[in-house]
Structure 1
């Protein structure tokens, strides 16, 4: 009985208390994590641009878009698992939550390894297909190959953090994201220039610092969770849960594919636009990479609130507290609600296809003959306005309130 009390405290309850305050306190660490990630990319871009020049900055811009596509393909599985975990926690069914964690973690990691191996093998074909400028191609190859090695650790860290958020804990992920970012930012210049005892690795040093930061952080967070005896940790007999349950895996994959397709749509659009950008040469490509980095800051509040609403709503669905769902949605100001079911993900996918793949990419491609490279910059607000209009229409008229992730 003594162990149950701390366990209950560490699976944070999002089904009671004042909704606006609970949502805000949960969302702030998520926002902080997003800010840290973007600052990490921005600072690393400064190091690469300052020490290695425009071609290297173009190389990282191209490589990061490929990485984003890879992360997007497994994003849906992580989100589906997180939603299922949150619903199980809300229903006070921790054994079911552990089953979901075990099956999802194994599948998630194995898929990540497959992507890493395939990416390493076909890195040249990927970059050539993207139209990477010739002067940036060798640099992009060196950078991306190390990033592919880091993909399993990056995905595992992301999975652990999203599961913790599903359990109602957004602060622990923030601290370990901070650890990964600090290590990455500090090691970047040391490994690029070979300062002190560190080897001079050039652009490969930037990727190596990311690999080290992600690996150390994921090992550290797992150690802390086991030392604290977190209720969702898998130990002893629970390690058998790492063998995927076929029935549960089908649910996770079926629910996760539409969510993952959302990220794939965004990535495909970004890669298409990057192909257009690359045709202008390394200077414009480097500038576009910086602009794309800055654009992520604009999206952060919506992403943080959306993640908080998703976890909070899922726990309330699991607890059968449908009376709170509308209030949660109102407090979240309608930001891209992913409450329950694959239907919501599919409808949001349609919104993304229209706003990102059709409008943003189409705008950049069709108008560039009129206003040149300025079309690239104006495509961002054009796609965002379309997404806002479509999302608002779905929230007002859609049937998302009638769907469920877990039946019963």
Structure 2
């Protein structure tokens, strides 16, 4: 390869030049892509489901940890404490948006390097991603801890919940460096097609969180009764223990993605990898920031309707998070396989991947949403104790739950395009639908319809988002060639 040769990758409809990443003495990994994925005569059901099950269980477990914590807080500490936590969650999501976007970028790079069998690119991408995630976590932690009280005032949190929300938020924000690194590492593992290892250690984290939360919150087994502060501490401890165990496990297994001693000696970053990571990850980060800011805008609107509305919002969010996990898992799986196909020069399999992923999206969605509709009242009483608050949450849940399948469809389309390196236009579409449709509609409908009007903005924006994404996918993206971001 010529020393100054440059390549271009299609990002949206913009051709972005980048320097191909060349590594001396590059070696190959053992090709472990499932043969059914590459064989056009075979169905993708088996490899997708094998990857999807632990990934879906991981996301469900993650949601379950939040569900149990919310139940403990809502039933044991009261709806004021639940409202405090519900106010902090959109803010914390905003602060971690950058690392979620960075993880999306690393997922593309890891998947393509893995599909092409490039070991050196794998290890360098891991090293750079983890270190950059840690540095971002430090910055976001400082911002969150220092400005928490001003943030709560800015989003209109009720005065009655601000003291608890502030204490809870400071602990959550201080743990962001740990959370950033943990999220990035598990995302990287999934980029190689390994969804089982993150699942095992997320299971450990979830069990620890379920055990530690009531112990620290209510002062069990001789511990001091710490209330909402105890719930935050238990969450941090569970993550820390699980992450340390994951590091030791990967080292013991001599995993290709295990961190070696050189990682801990300095925070030097590989600039070519970082440059490519940022080019792919920043649009996703911008999207996540836009989504998180929209959630902050929504909680601001919800807060105007009083503490009861905020508590109902918190309960509905927990149910929706649980239902949408399989759809989000499918989107992530589709993105991983799309990246691997591009790396393995098998772009012809992308259309089959889309059909299989969408079929699973609607099959799982119909079953899961149907069950929640049937048992909606008992489920809401897990989080809430006041019957009028439950009735408010019930109306909202019925209005928006079905739209999770539409959202899943849109995420699968977007993820497959992102897996090939096309990130700019899907990002613009999603951000536009959120801020030009969802937020204005929520503001307008909140007047005549109250809390229900705010929630109706979600299915309206999801439908428009899917239509626009499909138009771009059908008439622009499908007409382009999709090559690897790494030099061959």
Give the TM-score normalised by the residue count of structure 1.
Answer: 0.92
Equivalent in the alignment of 2:79? 54
Equivalent in the alignment of 2:121? 96
Equivalent in the alignment of 1:395? 473
Larger-Rg structure: 2
Once the two structures are superposed, what CA deviation does each residue of 1:161-219 show, in whole Å capped at 9, x if it has no partner?
A: 11111111001111111111111122111111111222211100111111011111111
Contact 2:336/2:419 (CA < 8 Å) preserved in 1?
Answer: no
Q: CA deviation at 1:125?
A: 1.2
Q: CA deviation at 1:395?
A: 2.5
Cα distance change on mapping 1:240 and 1:207 into 2, 3 Å: closer
* RCO comparison, higher one (Cα < 8 Å, 6+): 1
How do 1:5-404 residues align onto structure 2 when only pairs under 5 Å count?
8=30, 13=34, 16=38, 18=42, 19-235=44-260, 243-333=268-358, 335=412, 336-340=414-418, 344-399=422-477, 401-404=480-483
Count of matched residue positions in the alignment of Structure 1 and Structure 2:
401
Cα distance change on mapping 1:219 and 1:210 into 2, 3 Å: same
Contact 2:144/2:174 (CA < 8 Å) preserved in 1?
Answer: no
Once the two structures are superposed, what CA deviation does each residue of 1:325-347 show, in whole Å capped at 9, x if it has no partner?
A: 22222222262334447973222
Contact 1:255/1:341 (CA < 8 Å) preserved in 2?
Answer: no
Contact 2:338/2:419 (CA < 8 Å) preserved in 1?
Answer: no
Cα distance change on mapping 1:241 and 1:138 into 2, 3 Å: closer
SS in 2 for 1:402: coil
**Unpaired stretches in structure 1, ≥5 consecutive residues:** 1-6
Contact 1:102/1:242 (CA < 8 Å) preserved in 2?
Answer: no
Q: CA deviation at 1:404?
A: 4.5
* Counterparts of 1:344 and 1:103, CA distance in 2: 22
**Unpaired stretches in structure 2, ≥5 consecutive residues:** 1-28, 359-408
* Counterparts of 1:341 and 1:167, CA distance in 2: 13
Contact 1:356/1:383 (CA < 8 Å) preserved in 2?
Answer: yes
Contact 1:83/1:166 (CA < 8 Å) preserved in 2?
Answer: yes
Once the two structures are superposed, what CA deviation does each residue of 1:298-327 show, in whole Å capped at 9, x if it has no partner?
A: 322221111111111111211111222222
